[in-house]
Structure 1
Amino acid sequence: MAESKRCKDLDKTSEPEQNIKLTEYFRRLLKREINFRLTKEELCDIICSVDFVVETLVATISSKVGWLQFSRVVKVGSMAEGTSVGRPNEFDYLAVLKIEAGSVQVERTCAKRRGYAHVKIADPNLKTIWGKWMNGQYLTSDFTRGQSDFLSGYFDSLGNAFKDEIYHAMNNAHSNLVYRTKIGKIEPESSLNLDIKRHGPAFTPKFVWKSKNSDEKITIEVDITLAIEVELTPDIISETDTFDPLFFRKVKEHGKVMLISCRDNASCDAKLCMCLVFTEIEVELVRNMGQHHKECYKLLKYIFNDGRGYTFLPSYVLKTLVLKHNCHCEEEENLAVCFKTLVASCLHYLFNRKTEEKIEPSRFARALMLGKRFSLNIPSIFFKEHNILYSKNYKFPCEQFLQEIEIMLESIEKISYREEDNDDDESLDIVTSIFTGVEAYLSTFPFFRKEKELTFIKCYECYGNYFNENIL
C-alpha cells in the first residue's frame, strides 16, 4: 500500500513524466497483448466467413418459418466498431424482423421505466401468427431470472421461439453453415450435444475457424439478437433526453429505432417491456472516434473486464463512458491522461453505488456470501433517465469488488513509478494473477479479514485530480 501513499504525496510537477511512462507501457500492451496479431488477409477472411454463416443461418430460418421473416442482418458490437481485444472470437448481430409499416405501434415508454417501450400489434396477420406470445394486444418480452435459463420456457416469448429455431437450423443445416476460403474454413463447433447459450437478449451459437497457415483454432461465439425496427417518432426520444446534442442529431439522421427483448422486466407487471436501442448509431459513433479514444476503450476492456475472474464494469458501460468522454476531450496522444480520467468516472459511480439485501430467492448461493449485493446507476447516452445497469446484479459482495479494483489500480500505478523500463515484464500484476479474486473473496470473511480498513479510497485519491463531475 506504500505505492498509494507515494501517489497521494506526489508533487504535481512530476506527473507529466509519469504519464509518459504509463502511455509508453500502454502502447506496448496494445501491441503485444490487445490488438489482433493476425494478418490482415486472415482477419478479413474470418470476418467474411462469420458474416456468411450468420446470414445463411438467418435466411434458413426465414425460409422455413412463416412467422419469423427477416429483412436484414445488422453487424453490431465491438467487431463492427473495431474495438475488439485479443482475438476475433466474439461477433454480434441483430436479426431484424420483416414487418410492414404500421404493423406495430410503439408506446412512448413503459410507465415504470424510461428507455423501454411496449409494442402494440396492429396488423391482424401478425396477431394471428404471434398470438401465443402476446398479452392482450401487446407483444410480451422475455422474462428469465439471473443468468440461468432454468424454466425460461415457462415464460414463453417470441425470443425464446427464435432460440429454438436457431437450434433446429444449426442441427439440420449443418453442412450449409460451413464456409471455406484460401486461408481456412469456418464451421459450427459441433453437431453433437448442440447447446445454444443465452447472453442477455441474444442467443449464442458457436463456430470454429481453422486456419491453413497454422494449427490454431479460434472458437467464435456469435451473439444473434432478435430485433424489431420501427420509424422514429418525436414522442420516443427528444434532444433533452440525450447526454449531448450530437447523439440526438445522429438518432434523428438515422430515423429509426430498434426494440429488443428485455432480459429482466420484473418491474413491469405485465412483462411487456422491450428495450429501445440505437445499436447501429453506437457503431457509427465509435467508428468515428479517433484512434486515441478507441485505444483507451480497448485498454479499459482488457485491464478491467477481460474475463480473468474480475467484473469491474461491463464493456457496454465502459463504451458509454468513453463516448461521453469523447464529446468534450481533445486529447489525441497521451493515453494515460484519458485513461485516468475514465477510471475516475468509473470510481465516481462505484462510490455512489446502492447496496441492497444480499439474499435473493432465485440465487440461493448468495446466502453463502458475506456482504450485500449492490447496483450502480449509470445513465445512457440516449436516455439520461435510463440506467443501463438497472438489472445488473453483481455476483460479489461489495468488499470483494472494491478490493479487486484497489489491487488493479495499484498495479497500474506501479508502472508510473518504475525508475527503469523492464521489457521482460510486460503484464500488469492483476492481469496475470488468477488467484487475486479468490484472495479478495476470502478476505471478506471475518476469519481472514484484516484489521485495517479498506485502502481503496487511496486509489480514488490517486485519480482524484482528473475527476470532473461535469463529464458524467
Structure 2
Amino acid sequence: MTPTIYRAPGSKYDKIVSKRLGDSASKEQYIFLYRRHSGITIVSSYVYHDPQNVFEREPYIVKIQSTKTVLSEFVLAGIHVKPLQAIQEITALETVHSDIVSKMKTEEILFLGDMNAECSYAPKKYLNYIPIRTSNKYHWLISDNIDTTVSKGTDCAYDRFILHGDKFLNAIVKDSSKIFEFDKEYRLTNTVALSVSDHYPIELEMKTVTSSAPYIPFTMFTTVCFGSVICSYYSKQCGFLRNLFRNQCQIEQKEVEIVAIESGLQELIHKILFAVEKEYSWFKISRILPSGSFYEGTKIGNLDEFDYMIVLQALSGDDIELHDGCNPWYKRIEIKDENHCFNRYCCRVRYENTAYNYRYHLHTSKYIVSDFWHAVTKFQKSAKLSVEIPQGILTHEENESDKLLFTFTKRTGIPESTSQDKDRCLLVPILRMDIGVDLMMSIEHPCLESVAKCEGFPSDYKELLMKHGCHIVIKSCHIQHFPEPTCYFISFAALELELMKNLDEHHKKCYKILKSLLTGEMNFKGKCMNLSSYVLKTAFLFHVYGSKGCTYSRLDTKCINEVLDYLSSCFYNIRMPCFFARDMNTWGHILEFPVHSWTGWDCYDSRRIAFCFLWVKLWCKIVHVVKIAISAENIPKMDDWYTLHDKCEYMKRTIYYLLEKYTDWDNKDVQRGEMTNEEIKVPLIEQYELSG
C-alpha cells in the first residue's frame, strides 16, 4: 500500500507508476504524473487483486490528498480495458469499487482510462444494461457522442471518466470534462498526430479552495505511455519488420529517376494510343487514368510495372444504356445508335441466332480486346519508339501478350563502344530493366446515382463516388451466357486509388511489409482464389476505412495482426466482400482453383473438390503461420525471422509455379476447378478440416 514516488532531479513533475500488468506477453504500466509543489500528496496505492481473473490488466488505485481543491481527499482508479472483454471488465468495476471502499475508506472515487466503452466493443444494447451504467450513483462524465479517437475513420467514445460520490461530483467544474484535441491546438496533420497517439487525452477541472479559477490536477492520456511500454516488448518483432521494410519494401530507383521514367513512359503511351486510333478510329481515348500500386504509393522493389485505365470516348456518353447482368455489379451494355462504330461487336453481328432483345448489346469482350492489341502489335512491327531521358533510354519492345513492354537502359558513364571495341568483353554490364504497362479499356459509368443506390455500396462514400466516378471495364464476367450477351463489371479503381493514396505512412508501411511477405508478381488472364495484392489491398481498406476503423496503437504488429486475422476469416468463409460492393465476393461468384489432373479424374470427381478445399486450406495455413510468427509470445531470435522470410519466398515461388501451370491451357497437369458459392457449405469445410 505504501507508494513509491519517482522524482527526477531538476524536473517539475513527480510520478507514481504501477508494476507491469497483463496476462499476455504484452505488458503495460499505469502512470500518474503530477506537478511538484502543487499541494498533491500520494497517500497510498495498490493494484487490484483479481481472484476471478476478469481483467486483462488489473486496475491501479491511488489515494490522493490535495490542499488546493475543494475536495481534499479522493481516489483515482486507472484502467485499460481489453477490447474484446469490454462489457465484462466494465461490469466488474462495481466489485473494484467495493474493494476500494473497504481498503481506502472513501466513497469519492474516479475510474479513468481507455475503457473501449462504445462502438463494436461495447454496443449500447449491452452497455446500457449493466449496473455501473444504469445506477444513479455513478456519473459518466464523457458522453457517448464524444469521439476520443484521433483517426478520421472512427467515431467512438472509448475513453471515459466514471465518477462515484456526491462530494466528488460537486467538486468538478460543470461541463469541464472533455477531450483535448492536441492536433488542432498545435496545428498538426492527422498523420503527425497519429504518430503521437491514436487517442485524445480526456480532462476535467476541479474547483479550488481560495480562488474562483478552476484547478486542473489530472489530464488522462491513455495511449502514449502504453505504447512506449509495449514497444519494448515487441522490439525484436519491430526490428525485424523495420529491417524487412528497409530492405524489401522500397522502390530501388531514386526520386528524380522515377519522375523521369514515368514522364517518358507517358509520352510513349500517348504515341502508341494515337497510332491505334489511326488504325481503328473507334478506339479513340478520352482519358488516361492512373491506377495500381505506383500511383497508390505502395509499390515495392523495382519500378517495373505501371497500370492505367483508358476510357473509350465512343462508349462514354448517351449512346449506351446499361442493363443488370448477373447481379447489380455486372452490366450488359446496349448501344442505342444503329450506326454506332461499336455495332461491329454487338450480338447481331457475331451470332445470328441471338434473341431479338439483345441484337444491339455488346457481346464478349474478347473481340474488342483482340482488335485493340492487334493494332498495337501492328504498330510495334512498323515502328520502334524510344525516348531519351537524363538517366537513360526508354524503348518500346515487341510483345505478344496483352500489355505494353518497355526496356529502360540506364546510362552508366562508360563511353560508347567503337568498332575497335566490338570484340572486347565489357567489364561493366549496361544496366537494363523491363517495364510492363497494363492498359485496361473502360467506359465512364453514365449514371452514378444508380450505383450509389445499390444495396452493397457504402453510403458514406457517395460524395467520393460523385467526385471520381466509376467505370465499366471491358472485361467479361466468368459465366457463359451464350447466346445472351456478356456481362461487364463495374470498377471502383478511381475510388480505391484515392483511399490508398490517403493512407497514412504507418498503414502504407504495414501494407508493404505484408505485400513483400505474402504476394508474388503473377499476372494472368481469368480469376483464381488466392492472396493477390488486390486481396491484400481490400483487407487494408476494411482495416482503415471500415465501420470499426483502425482502433489500435501505431504499432506495426498490431495492425498487421488485425489484417491477418481478417484474411484468415475470409479464407475460412471462402468469401471476402469488395470494399465498394459489399454484397460481392472479391474472388467472384464462381470460385476457381488450380487442380492437379491425375489420370482418371473427371471434372466432378469428389477428389477434385477435395483438392479445391486443400488449396483454400493452404492459404489459411500460410496466413496462420505468418500471424503466429509476428505475434509470438516467445519472441523469436533474428535467425527465426530470416527463416520465416525464406519460407515466405519459397511459398510465393511454389504458388507462382502452380498458377503458371494453371493458366497454360496447353498444359494438362494443372486444370481449372470451379464451384459456386452456393455449392460450398460449412459441413464440407469442416469435413476437410479447414481452420483459420
| TM superposition score category, shorter chain reference | 0.7 to 0.9
The 8 Å contact of residues 292 and 335 in structure 1, kept in 2 or not, is answered as yes
Q: Where do 5+ consecutive residues of structure 1 fail to align? A: 1-9, 143-155, 198-202, 354-376, 442-452, 461-472
Matches within 5 A, 1:363-402: 377-390=575-588, 391-395=590-594, 397=611, 398-402=613-617
User: Within the alignment, does 1:261 sit opposite 2:474 as a pair?
Assistant: yes
CA distance, structure 2, for counterparts of residue 168 and residue 103 of structure 1 = 29
Query: Partner letter of residue 162 of structure 1?
Result: F
Structure 2 vs 1, CA of residues 308 and 424 (structure 1 numbering), >3 Å: closer, same or farther? farther
User: Within the alignment, does 1:14 sit opposite 2:26 as a pair?
Assistant: yes
DSSP-derived class of the 2:310 partner: strand
The 8 Å contact of residues 97 and 227 in structure 1, kept in 2 or not, is answered as yes
CA distance, structure 2, for counterparts of residue 299 and residue 352 of structure 1 = 25
Give 2:321's aligned residue.
105
User: Within the alignment, does 1:342 sit opposite 2:569 as a pair?
Assistant: no
Deviation at 1:19, TM superposition (A): 4.1
The structure whose Rg is larger is: 2
User: Within the alignment, does 1:181 sit opposite 2:379 as a pair?
Assistant: no
User: Within the alignment, does 1:224 sit opposite 2:423 as a pair?
Assistant: no
Structure 2 vs 1, CA of residues 413 and 236 (structure 1 numbering), >3 Å: closer, same or farther? closer
Give 1:318's aligned residue.
536
CA distance, structure 2, for counterparts of residue 133 and residue 335 of structure 1 = 50
Q: How many residues align?
A: 384
Query: Partner letter of residue 646 of structure 2?
Result: D
Give 1:96's aligned residue.
311
Deviation at 1:326, TM superposition (A): 0.7
The 8 Å contact of residues 332 and 485 in structure 2, kept in 1 or not, is answered as no
Query: Partner letter of residue 380 of structure 1?
Result: C
Structure 2 vs 1, CA of residues 219 and 426 (structure 1 numbering), >3 Å: closer, same or farther? farther
- Give per-residue Cα distances to partners, 1:294-335, cap 9 Å, x unaligned: 122222222111249998412111111111111111546211
Structure 2 vs 1, CA of residues 85 and 13 (structure 1 numbering), >3 Å: closer, same or farther? same
- Give per-residue Cα distances to partners, 1:206-229, cap 9 Å, x unaligned: 111111148332211111111111
DSSP-derived class of the 1:317 partner: helix
- TM-score, structure 2 normalization: 0.51
CA distance, structure 2, for counterparts of residue 48 and residue 162 of structure 1 = 24
Structure 2 vs 1, CA of residues 71 and 455 (structure 1 numbering), >3 Å: closer, same or farther? same
Structure 2 vs 1, CA of residues 29 and 63 (structure 1 numbering), >3 Å: closer, same or farther? same
Deviation at 1:290, TM superposition (A): 0.8
- Give per-residue Cα distances to partners, 1:227-269, cap 9 Å, x unaligned: 1113334223327432x43433211223x33111234432544
DSSP-derived class of the 1:185 partner: strand
Query: Partner letter of residue 386 of structure 1?
Result: M
Deviation at 1:83, TM superposition (A): 0.9
CA distance, structure 2, for counterparts of residue 407 and residue 349 of structure 1 = 13
DSSP-derived class of the 2:452 partner: coil
Deviation at 1:286, TM superposition (A): 0.6
Which of 149, 162, 176 aligns to 2:372? It is 162
Q: Where do 5+ consecutive residues of structure 2 fail to align? A: 1-21, 28-229, 348-358, 413-428, 596-610, 659-686
Structure 2 vs 1, CA of residues 268 and 332 (structure 1 numbering), >3 Å: closer, same or farther? farther
User: Within the alignment, does 1:67 sit opposite 2:305 as a pair?
Assistant: no
Query: Partner letter of residue 89 of structure 1?
Result: D
CA distance, structure 2, for counterparts of residue 229 and residue 248 of structure 1 = 16
CA distance, structure 2, for counterparts of residue 408 and residue 265 of structure 1 = 27
Matches within 5 A, 1:67-466: 67-99=282-314, 101-107=317-323, 109-110=324-325, 112-126=326-340, 129-135=341-347, 136-142=359-365, 156-174=366-384, 177-189=385-397, 191=398, 194-195=399-400, 197=401, 203-213=402-412, 215-238=430-453, 240-242=455-457, 244-254=458-468, 256-269=469-482, 270-307=484-521, 312-327=530-545, 328-331=549-552, 333-353=554-574, 377-390=575-588, 391-395=590-594, 397=611, 398-403=613-618, 406=621, 409-410=624-625, 413-414=628-629, 416=632, 417-418=634-635, 420-421=637-638, 425=642, 428-433=645-650, 437=654, 457=691, 460=692
CA distance, structure 2, for counterparts of residue 132 and residue 288 of structure 1 = 42
CA distance, structure 2, for counterparts of residue 251 and residue 384 of structure 1 = 15
The 8 Å contact of residues 511 and 537 in structure 2, kept in 1 or not, is answered as yes
Deviation at 1:188, TM superposition (A): 2.2
Deviation at 1:28, TM superposition (A): 1.3
Stretches of 4+ aligned residues off by more than 6 angstroms: 308-311, 453-456
Deviation at 1:21, TM superposition (A): 2.9
The 8 Å contact of residues 34 and 298 in structure 1, kept in 2 or not, is answered as yes
Query: Partner letter of residue 378 of structure 1?
Result: M
CA distance, structure 2, for counterparts of residue 25 and residue 54 of structure 1 = 40
- TM-score, structure 1 normalization: 0.73
The 8 Å contact of residues 25 and 233 in structure 2, kept in 1 or not, is answered as no
Give 2:193's aligned residue.
none
- Give per-residue Cα distances to partners, 1:373-424, cap 9 Å, x unaligned: xxxx222122222222114522153325534653564356446444554699
- The higher relative CO (CA closer than 8 Å, separation ≥ 6) is in 1
Structure 2 vs 1, CA of residues 224 and 249 (structure 1 numbering), >3 Å: closer, same or farther? same
DSSP-derived class of the 2:301 partner: coil
The 8 Å contact of residues 188 and 208 in structure 1, kept in 2 or not, is answered as yes
Deviation at 1:436, TM superposition (A): 8.2
Deviation at 1:160, TM superposition (A): 2.1
CA distance, structure 2, for counterparts of residue 430 and residue 422 of structure 1 = 12
